[in-house]
């Protein structure tokens, strides 16, 4: 019975230790936030599907493919009928992923040293 109590107490202390370590790291070394890299206000409302013949979008597919090759998001610009008239590549998600990867590596090293 004493061994069971010691085991439960040891697990409890270990859990508390992990919580203190992870919360302490978050206080002194906060994780990058998605909102710091990408403006969530840029997302447009979903638009109704129009018949394909009603919109002419020359060159848009190439721009979308170019953005996909760069692993960036294509941000479309619409006219008053809801047709895509232009767009651009937004690489905020790429910059966020790079910052998050660097943070995760540093976090791992910190936890490795503390643990």
19 & 37 share domain: no
Residue 107 is part of which domain span?
Answer: 33-42+57-115
62 & 115 share domain: yes
Q: φ, ψ for residue 41 (rounded to 5)?
A: -70, -10
25 & 78 share domain: no
Q: Which run of H or of E encompasses 36?
A: helix 34-37
At 12-34, the pLDDT tens digits run: 999 999 999 899 999 999 999 98
At 65-91, the pLDDT tens digits run: 888 888 888 888 877 777 788 888 888
Q: How many residues does the chain have?
A: 115
24 & 62 share domain: no
């Amino acid at each position: 019975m004493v061994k069971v109590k010691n085991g439960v107490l040891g697990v409890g202390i270990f859990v508390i230790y992990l919580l203190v370590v992870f919360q302490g790291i978050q206080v002194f070394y906060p994780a990058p936030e998605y909102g710091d890299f990408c403006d969530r206000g840029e997302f447009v409302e979903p638009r109704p599907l129009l018949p394909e013949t009603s919109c002419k979008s020359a060159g848009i597919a190439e721009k979308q493919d170019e953005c996909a090759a760069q692993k960036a998001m294509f941000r479309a610009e619409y006219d008053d009928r809801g047709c895509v008239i232009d767009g651009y590549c937004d690489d905020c998600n790429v910059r966020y992923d790079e910052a998050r990867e660097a943070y995760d590596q540093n976090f791992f090293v910190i936890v490795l040293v503390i643990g």
